[in-house]
Amino acid sequence: MSDVVAAAAVTHRVLNRELSWLDFNQRVLELAAEPGIPLLERAKFCAIFSTNLDEFFQVRVAALRDQVAAGIDDPTWDGRSPQQQLIELSALVPGMIERQESIFLDQLTPALAAESIHIVDWGDLAESDRATMRTYFDERIFPVLTPLAVDPGHPFPYISNLALSIAAHVADPVTAERRFVRLKVPSVFPRLISLGDGRFLPAEELIGAHLHLLFVGMVVEEWAVFRLTRNADLTLEEDEADDLLEAVELELRKRRFNRAIRLEVAGGIGDELLDLLVRELELDVRNVYRHRALLDLSCLWQLHSIDRPDLKDRAWPPTTPGRLYLAEGADRSIFSVMRDRAVLMHHPYESFSSSVEKFLDQAATDPRVQSIKMTLYRAGGDSPVIQSLISAAERGKQVAVLVELKARFDEANNVQWAKHLERAGVHVVYGMVGLKTHSKVILVVRDDGDQLRRYCHVGTGNYNSKTARLYEDLGFLSCDNEIGADVTQLFNHLTGYSRSEEYRTLLVAPRQLKNQLLDLIEHEASFGSEGRITLKCNSIADKTIVEALYAASAAGVQIDGVVRGICTMRAGVPGLSDNIRVRSILGRYLEHSRIYRF
């Protein structure tokens, strides 16, 4: 157990959710310092730590600030008020950032240099390199820059969320007038600009070295890089919305102007520049984080794309599940394999493309298929799944898709996919009021001649080609009659207007799943020391479930948890959780499957 979690008060039965999340992100960061991991993979983990922390501030810290602003001081079930949580988080985060920068500057940077990979400053460049970079600046960067000065006719500019910016003071040598200027570093060119020989120059360094070309005849007195984080959560009044799609689009436009939460600045920023930023952005100085390394180290993902297989994990080509592979060789469809018996797939070790995507592709082109229904939570970019759905609709099949518009940070992407699908003739439903539809389910109805048969896919992973290669997940293909009947009922509930009914084979949240898990835990407790529970999941943070597990532990049940992220349950505490053990698995793939064994 790390110091982050150990900081939680031991007098409470549970750990704090936010502190537990910080502990998880600390574990991610420590992978960047692990010498047994290939170098560019370590750089990747350093980048993931940054993007994780961005999301934490945008959502969790922002929510706590909202509670404090609203005067809410009710303690969470670990005994902390929102204000107390913010105080503890503010005390811990700077140390985590310092640890990240130490790993980057003192470990990764020298190790990368030893492999002829360098992130350089403008001052490190020879004149010939500077000439090359000046040409790049003139041709690729200068035309898209927009300096914004602050004066009586130009108010302080809008600063977009997570955008890298340059703040500067510029003076007129004739009149001695001074202006504050903000310059956004656009994302239309790489953050790390390659010099072609393993050296990379940060874009802000190149722009900073050429500010005089933007302010002709002026003196650039000082400049510094900064980055703003805003509250990124959506506030939807779903019960009052006439059109959920329009409501989400409106909130996405409003979210751009949400309250500032965090200001990151270069360590050498001057006091005058910093004071102006803090004042204009209406921030408290306690929300300012100084950095001695590059701001936003998620740019290290760019290094991970370098063609250096010797510095990365050995490629793992996914295999086609055995029975599907044999069927393909015999020119048999996936439907015929499913009629023989169900198929359990383990991604990414087994290919998502040659199983789930091919299942949908065959469903789209098979003339015997009459309808396709599915849920979409995160579809990703250029999606073969979406193309199959459109192809099916164009062939006259009945296609219905529930697109969850409230999938965090994928809202805009899902809005566009929903419109794209509708234009192709797909029946699109936008989710359920008050709930997020997080299930991953496909239902294909096919006329097999002897009967209409329902072919189903149920999985733990998103229908997303990119994450399917990075996330560890399970998928299940079946044409079992009872599963098919349950999935049919589920879609009737999701797309129609009905009360949820009891299912025969599925456990559907929020009505059945939690209660059934509690019953299973209680049943296992009845066996005392002969009982055994194993849980593999993303998080354990439900009070009722945690208390039930404590009770089972007290009854003698041996409980093992494999929990990737948040875990508010305290393991191995005498008199509370003697028989509970929890470990977190982090590594090459993101552990995303959920498995509960009793």
Q: Which two tokens stand for residue 485?
A: 């009947």
| 8 Å CB contact between 506 and 366 | no
Please name which of 129, 61, 66 lies closest in space to residue 92, comparing C-alpha atoms. Answer: 61
Q: Which two tokens stand for residue 357?
A: 């995507």
Distance of CA 454 to the CA centre of its chain: 33
Q: Tell me the three-class secondary structure of 170-210, residue by residue.
A: EECCCCCCEEEEEEECCCCCCCEEECCCCEEEEHHHHHHCC
Query: How many residues are present in the chain?
Result: 598
- CA–CA separation, 137 and 186 (whole Å): 13
Strand-pair partners of 181: 149, 168
Tell me the H-state helices in 496-574.
513-525, 543-554
Strand-pair partners of 164: 227
| 8 Å CB contact between 583 and 561 | yes
- CA–CA separation, 138 and 125 (whole Å): 17
- CB half-sphere exposure, 480, CA atoms < 13 A: 15
User: Which DSSP category does 272 fall into?
Assistant: H
- CA–CA separation, 147 and 387 (whole Å): 41
- CB half-sphere exposure, 257, CA atoms < 13 A: 6
Classify residue 496 as left (phi > 0), alpha (psi -120 to 50) or beta.
Answer: beta
| 8 Å CB contact between 308 and 441 | no
Query: For this structure, is 523 an active site residue?
Result: no
- CA–CA separation, 20 and 2 (whole Å): 10
Classify residue 515 as left (phi > 0), alpha (psi -120 to 50) or beta.
Answer: alpha
Q: Choosing from 346, 438, 457, 493, which is the catalytic residue?
A: 438
| 8 Å CB contact between 444 and 362 | no
Q: Measured between alpha carbons, how far is residue 539 from residues 18, 421, 565 in Å?
A: 12, 33, 5
| DSSP conformation letters of 308-364 | -GGGSPPP-PPBPPHHHHHHHHTT--HHHHHHH--EEEEETTB-SIIIIIHHHHHHH
Count of CB atoms situated within 10 Å of the CB of 9: 11
Per DSSP bridges, beta strands 369-376 and 440-447 are: antiparallel
| 8 Å CB contact between 356 and 469 | no
Q: Which two tokens stand for residue 196?
A: 């072609």
In sign, the C-alpha dihedral spanning 253, 258, 261, 266 is positive
| 8 Å CB contact between 320 and 355 | yes
Residues annotated as catalytic (active site), given as ranges: 438
